[in-house]
């Protein structure tokens, strides 16, 4: 006969990884066209969306670009900022955890 004792199944909680926002910061020097180009190239945005995000940051001071896991957000923000630096612009992308 089968007299094996089986343990009751316990559910292990799997937490979702916390998401982090990539934020575009306005400045007075980077040309609008360059900001739009970076958003298209680094964040795969359409021209239309890239322009809207750029103009929102321009008017309000900052705009959320996208949300990713912590590592991906950090990598994307650093990469986009570095591309701008390599062209001599002070454009800045930062990250912060989502509430
Ligand atoms: N303010 C810049 C200008 O007038 C354009 C700009 C927009 C720069 C958004 C950065 O995140 C930015 N040339």
For 38-56, the pLDDT digits (tens) are 999 999 999 999 999 999 9
- Close Cβ partners of 23 (under 8 Å, ≥ 6 residues apart): 62, 63, 64, 65, 77, 93, 94, 95, 96
Cα–ligand 1 centroid distance for 70 (angstroms): 26
pTM of the model: 0.87
The domain 28-97: what is its CATH number? 3.30.1390.10
For 5-48, the pLDDT digits (tens) are 777 778 888 988 899 999 999 999 999 999 999 999 999 999 99
User: Using CA atoms, how far apart are residues 77 and 20, in angstroms rounded to an integer?
Assistant: 11
The residue extents of the domains of the chain are 28-97
Protein residue closest via CA to atom 10 of ligand 1:
26
* Residue from 23, 29, 32, 38 whose mutation best tests the ligand 1 pocket (most atoms within 8 A of CB): 32
SS3 36: helix
**In this structure, what token pair is assigned to residue 93?**
């992308």
């Amino acid at each position: 006969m089968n007299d094996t004792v089986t343990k009751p199944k316990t559910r292990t909680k799997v937490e979702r990884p916390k998401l982090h926002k990539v934020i575009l910061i306005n400045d007075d020097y980077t040309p609008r066209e360059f900001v739009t180009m970076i958003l298209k190239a680094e964040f795969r945005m359409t021209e239309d969306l890239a322009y809207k995000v750029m103009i929102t940051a321009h008017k309000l001071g900052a705009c959320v670009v996208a949300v990713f896991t912590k590592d991906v957000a950090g990598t994307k923000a650093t990469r986009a900022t570095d591309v701008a630096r390599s062209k001599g612009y002070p454009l800045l992308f930062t990250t912060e955890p989502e509430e």
